[in-house]
Amino acid sequence: QLQLVESGGGLVQPGGSLRLSCAASGFTLDYYAIGWFRQAPGKAREGVSCISTNGGTTNYADSVKGRFTISRDNARNTVYLQMNSLKPEDTAVYYCAAEDALRYLVTCSLATMTSNGMDYWGKGTLVTVSS
């Protein structure tokens, strides 16, 4: 069974940090670009960050640039999202998704991933930023 499983969410105070993990089972992430998305209550899902299949390109939404870092560890079949300086507006369910399209081999685009869809999605992990 092909699955993506997110973990690492939780409750954190403003200014704090969390590291989310996205682990794959049933397939190897080596051949996939990965996107992190989030959906806050009452809002549409938005792209947060992406990493190309070869790991050479990363992109971030303006709202998280300079605070979040995406990385991949193919040996562990896992992609991470390090989130620092968290704000209450970062509160959301965070999802990772995988896509093996050739266009993402050396680059990635949150806009394209959002509009074209992704092959696989995890079920999400809740991040709550509150004092």
Question: What are 81-118's pLDDT values in tens digits?
Answer: 999 999 999 999 999 999 998 889 889 999 999 888 89
CA-wise closest residue to 77 among 48, 98, 103, 46? 98
Distance (Å) of CA 8 to CA 55, 117, 119, 120: 22, 24, 22, 19
Predicted confidence (pLDDT) per residue in 44-90, tens digit: 999 999 999 999 999 999 999 999 999 999 999 999 999 999 999 99
pLDDT of residue 103: 85
* Element spanning 112, H or E: helix 110-116
Per-residue model confidence (pLDDT) at position 106: 87
Cβ count within 10 A of residue 121: 16
Confidence (pLDDT) at 29:
92
Phi and psi at residue 114, to the nearest 5°: -70, -45
Task: Report, as an integer, the average pLDDT of 18-31.
Answer: 94
Which pairing describes strands 125-129 and 10-12: parallel, antiparallel, or unpaired?
parallel
Residue 2 has pLDDT above 90, yes or no: no
Asked whether the predicted pLDDT for residue 5 surpasses 90, the reply is: yes
* Separation of alpha carbons 86 and 97, rounded Å: 22
Instruction: Tell me what pLDDT residue 115 has.
Output: 86
What is the structure's pLDDT at 87? 98
In the sheet that holds 68-73, the strands lie side by side as 3-7, 18-25, 78-83, 68-73
Q: What's the burial of 77, exposed, middle or buried (CB within 10 Å: 0-12/13-18/19+)?
A: middle
Residue-level pLDDT at 116 = 87
